[in-house]
């Protein structure tokens, strides 16, 4: 099929939830580059929305997957798997938690986290079932997680939405204190709101929320689906804040493109789940576990976190120069390799122009230009992006 035929088939056969996509048909990836079916090459600063931490066709990753595909892809959670055991040990050895459960997506990881929080209080015979989340948050697209998402536009098509959520302004400790009552089971927060516009939580806020949860005896859930697995320069962003959650959710980069999510907790919380309380057919199958195990090993042992810190700082400073130069850039936010430029104009217009120059970048909300490159990019890749941004921005002024 040629490009026009593929786009036409999409219009004919695929449910129209994405609207018109960027008009390119991607065919393969290599390193930090994607290639379309007309041979055009794109430097990728989206990483499949924070998924492809190692970029494309990372040799060790591709080899491990090929081997796993020919050995065993799936046989259900009725049985044990060495690769699942190894992944669980590796994750637990490298974070605050004692137990993990695997899902297939971020939304499902958050669903599981919400179920665990509710079950925890059920076990204690306490009538606590409400979850407090932040305005402008994003927690997924299942009915329960879109209800958890503090953005009106996601609720509207599905009212009445599931009950049991309260929304508070982000980074406002007084508001969250006010919102807690005797029905509150948990507070669920992103440490940097990704889809909501690359808004980092402040240190005082996260410390304050942790203290609040301890005082009230309620659970703290960090949704690190976008910030986890090295994105901020630590394996998990909670480590940058020096504050541990009760429940941690992961997905996006965990499998470097193979769908896998996870939620983790300390024993005290995890023991609330009894046999039969939760489950998944696909979750944590050998292929997904091999993907996550290999990704984590590479990130932990091949200098990826140091690269994120180094290149992230370099990128931040280069973006700061742009901000000083162009008045329509209102703010630069983020850490590591999750960075956002808030603009006066709609970010989508800029994204389109940047893509025309062979570079893929993202929006977040209406006005934020968002960068989520593979964690293995170099300063030369950053220079290329800055060069194109310069060109596009200078045509605006
Ligand atoms: C992407 C994302 C989700 C949803 O993940 P899916 O895999 O699309 O279900 C949830 N929370 C955050 C913070 C995300 O960035």
Do 78 and 53 share a structural domain? no
- pLDDT (tens digit per residue) in 80-113: 999 999 999 999 999 999 999 999 999 999 999 9
Domain count along the chain:
2
Q: How far is the CA of 262 from the centre of ligand 1 (A)?
A: 12
User: CATH number of the domain that 77 lies in?
Assistant: 3.40.640.10
Question: Which residues neighbour 317 within 8 Å (Cβ) at sequence distance 6 or greater?
Answer: none
Q: How far is the CA of 143 from the centre of ligand 1 (A)?
A: 13
- Within 10 Å of residue 325's Cβ, how many Cβ atoms? 12
Q: Are strands 368-371 and 362-364 parallel, antiparallel or unpaired?
A: antiparallel
pTM exceeds 0.85, yes or no: yes
* Tokens encoding 58: 């990372």
- Whether 105 is in the pocket of ligand 1, judged by its Cβ within 6 Å, is yes
pLDDT above 90 covers a percentage of the chain that reads 99
Domain boundary among 301, 325, 343: 301
Q: How far is the CA of 261 from the centre of ligand 1 (A)?
A: 9
Would you say residue 295 lies in a domain? yes
Check residue 199 and give its pLDDT.
98
Half-sphere exposure of 23 (CA within 13 A, CB side): 8
Tell me the average pLDDT of the chain.
98
pLDDT level of residue 139 (50, 70, 90 thresholds): very high
pLDDT at 124 over 80: yes
Domain boundary among 285, 301, 317: 301
Do 77 and 39 share a structural domain? no
Do 259 and 206 share a structural domain? yes
- Whether 246 is in the pocket of ligand 1, judged by its Cβ within 6 Å, is no
- pLDDT (tens digit per residue) in 8-58: 999 999 999 999 999 999 999 999 999 999 999 999 999 999 999 999 999
The protein residue with its alpha carbon nearest to ligand 1, atom 8, reads: 106
- pLDDT (tens digit per residue) in 197-240: 999 999 999 999 999 999 999 999 999 999 999 999 999 999 99
Check residue 397 and give its pLDDT.
62
pLDDT at 352 over 90: yes
What number is the average pLDDT over the span 310-329? 98
Q: Is 265 left (phi over 0), alpha (psi -120 to 50) or beta?
A: beta
Would you say residue 63 lies in a domain? no
Residues with a known catalytic role:
138, 223, 252
Check residue 160 and give its pLDDT.
97
pLDDT level of residue 344 (50, 70, 90 thresholds): very high
Do 295 and 149 share a structural domain? yes
Residue 38 is part of which domain span? 3-57+303-396
Domain boundary among 256, 285, 301: 301
Q: Is 128 within 8 Å of 184 (Cβ atoms)?
A: yes
Do 52 and 103 share a structural domain? no
Do 208 and 85 share a structural domain? yes
pLDDT level of residue 168 (50, 70, 90 thresholds): very high
Do 285 and 148 share a structural domain? yes
Q: How far is the CA of 156 from the centre of ligand 1 (A)?
A: 19
- Whether 189 is in the pocket of ligand 1, judged by its Cβ within 6 Å, is no
How far apart CA 244 and CA 91 sit, in angstroms, is 15
- Whether 194 is in the pocket of ligand 1, judged by its Cβ within 6 Å, is yes
Would you say residue 64 lies in a domain? no
Q: Which of 105, 106, 222, 226 to mutate to test the pocket of ligand 1 (most atoms within 8 A of CB)?
A: 106
Would you say residue 67 lies in a domain? no
Do 191 and 134 share a structural domain? yes
Say if residue 160 is preceded by a cis peptide, omega within 30 of 0: yes
Query: For 338, which DSSP code?
Result: E
Q: Which of 112, 138, 224 to mutate to test the pocket of ligand 1 (most atoms within 8 A of CB)?
A: 138
Q: Which of 251, 256, 362 to mutate to test the pocket of ligand 1 (most atoms within 8 A of CB)?
A: 251
Check residue 102 and give its pLDDT.
98
pLDDT above 70 covers a percentage of the chain that reads 100
Q: How far is the CA of 45 from the centre of ligand 1 (A)?
A: 18
User: CATH number of the domain that 30 lies in?
Assistant: 3.90.1150.10
- pLDDT (tens digit per residue) in 362-375: 999 999 999 999 99
H/E segment holding residue 362: strand 362-364
Would you say residue 62 lies in a domain? no
Would you say residue 184 lies in a domain? yes
């Amino acid at each position: 099929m040629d490009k026009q035929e593929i786009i036409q088939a999409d219009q004919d056969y695929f449910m129209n939830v994405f609207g018109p996509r960027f008009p390119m048909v991607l065919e393969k990836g290599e390193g930090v580059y994607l290639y379309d079916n007309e041979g055009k090459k794109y430097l990728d600063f989206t990483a499949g929305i924070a998924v492809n931490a190692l970029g494309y066709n990372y040799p060790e990753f591709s080899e491990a997957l090929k081997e796993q595909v020919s050995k065993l892809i799936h046989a259900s959670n009725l049985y044990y798997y060495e690769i699942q055991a190894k992944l669980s040990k590796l994750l637990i050895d490298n974070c605050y938690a004692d137990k993990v459960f695997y899902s297939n997506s971020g939304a499902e990881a958050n669903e599981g986290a919400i179920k665990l929080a509710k079950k925890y209080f059920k076990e204690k015979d306490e009538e606590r079932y409400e979850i407090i989340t932040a305005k402008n948050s994003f927690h997924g697209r299942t009915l329960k997680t879109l209800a958890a998402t503090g953005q009106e536009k996601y609720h509207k098509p599905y009212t009445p939405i599931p009950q049991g959520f309260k929304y508070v302004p982000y980074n406002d400790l007084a508001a969250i204190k006010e919102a807690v009552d005797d029905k509150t089971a948990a507070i669920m927060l992103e440490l940097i709101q990704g889809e909501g516009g690359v808004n980092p939580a402040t240190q005082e806020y996260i410390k304050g929320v942790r203290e609040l949860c301890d005082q009230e005896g309620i659970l703290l859930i960090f949704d690190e689906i976008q910030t986890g697995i090295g994105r901020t320069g630590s394996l998990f962003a909670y480590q940058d804040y020096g504050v541990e959650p009760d429940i941690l959710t992961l997905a996006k980069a965990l499998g470097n493109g193979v769908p896998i999510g996870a939620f983790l907790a300390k024993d005290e919380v995890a023991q609330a789940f009894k046999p039969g309380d939760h489950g998944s057919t696909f979750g944590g199958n050998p292929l997904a576990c091999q993907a996550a195990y290999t990704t984590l090993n590479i990130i932990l042992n091949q200098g990826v976190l140091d690269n994120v810190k180094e290149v992230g700082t370099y990128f931040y400073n280069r973006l700061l120069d742009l901000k000083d130069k162009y008045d329509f850039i209102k703010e630069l936010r983020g850490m590591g390799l999750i960075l956002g430029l808030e603009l006066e104009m709609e970010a989508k217009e800029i994204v389109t122009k940047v893509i025309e120059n062979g570079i893929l970048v993202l929006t977040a909300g209406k006005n934020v230009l968002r960068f989520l490159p593979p964690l293995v990019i170099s300063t030369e890749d950053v220079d290329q992006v800055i060069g194109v941004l310069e060109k596009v921005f200078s045509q605006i002024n």
